[in-house]
Amino acid sequence: MKLPTGKKPRYLLLILFLFIEKSCLLAQNQRYTYEKGMMGSPFVLTFYAPDDARAKKAADSTFSRIQQLNDSLSDYRDGSEINKLSATSGSGRWVPVGKDLYNILAVSQDFSKKTKGSFDATLGPVVQVWRRAVRKGYLPDEKEIKEAMARTGYQKLRLDPKTQRVLLTQKGMRLDIGGLGKGFAADEALKVMRSFGITAVLIDAGGKLAIADPPPGEKGWKIKVSSGRDSVGTIELAHVGVATSGPTYRYLEFEGKKYSHIVDPKTGTGLLFHVRTTVISPNATDADVLATAFSVTGIKRGKRYLRKYFSSSKVWLVETKGGKERVWKTIR
pLDDT tens digits, one per residue of 294-321: 999 999 999 999 999 999 999 999 998 8
- What span, in angstroms and rounded, lies between the C-alpha atoms of 160 and 106? 10
Strands (E), the chain: 30-38, 41-49, 95-96, 157-160, 165-168, 201-205, 208-211, 221-226, 231-237, 240-245, 251-254, 257-260, 274-281, 314-321, 324-329
In contact, 145 and 269? CB cutoff 8 Å: yes
Does 1 map to a domain? no
Q: What tens digit of pLDDT does each residue of 67-115 get?
A: 999 999 999 998 999 999 999 999 999 999 999 999 999 999 999 999 9
- Cα torsion angle, 292, 297, 299, 304, sign: negative
Q: Distances in Å between the alpha carbon of 174 and those of 89, 120, 206, 291?
A: 8, 11, 24, 22
Kindly list the distances between the CA atom of residue 73 and the CA atoms of 68, 177, 186, in Å, as whole numbers in the listed order.
9, 7, 14
pTM score of the predicted model: 0.89
> Which residues partner with 318 through β-bridges?
276, 327
In-domain check, residue 230: yes
pLDDT value of residue 230: 62
Spatial CA neighbour of 64 closest among 165, 196, 180: 196
Total Cβ atoms within 10 A of residue 201 = 25
In the annotated binding site, the residues are 179, 288, 292
Residue 214 confidence (pLDDT): 97
Q: What is the CATH number of the domain that holds 136?
A: 1.10.3980.10
3-state secondary structure of 77: coil
Residue 234 lies in a domain: yes
State the CB neighbour count (10 A cutoff) for residue 231: 10
Tell whether 164 and 310 lie within a shared domain: no
Cα distances from 146 to residues 87, 116, 141, 194, 266, in angstroms, run 21, 20, 9, 46, 11
Domain count, the chain: 3
- pLDDT (average), residues 212-233: 84
Residues 260 and 319 sit within 8 Å (Cβ to Cβ): no
Claim to verify: residue 223 and residue 324 sit in the same structural domain: yes
Instruction: Tell me what pLDDT residue 248 has.
Output: 61
Residues making up the annotated binding site for Mg(2+) are 179, 288, 292
Q: Of the residues 198, 213, 228, which one is the last residue of a structural domain? A: 213
Domain containing residue 279: 219-332
Same domain, yes or no, for 254 and 130?
no
pLDDT at 135: 87
Instruction: Compute φ and ψ for 133, nearest 5 degrees.
Output: -65, -45
Structure confidence by residue, pLDDT tens digits, 6-30: 545 555 544 544 444 454 444 458 9
9 beta partners: none
The pLDDT value recorded for residue 15 is 52
| Distance (Å, whole) CA 19 – CA 8 | 16
CATH number of 275's domain: 3.10.520.10
- Are residues 145 and 103 part of one domain? yes
| Residue 142: inside a domain | yes
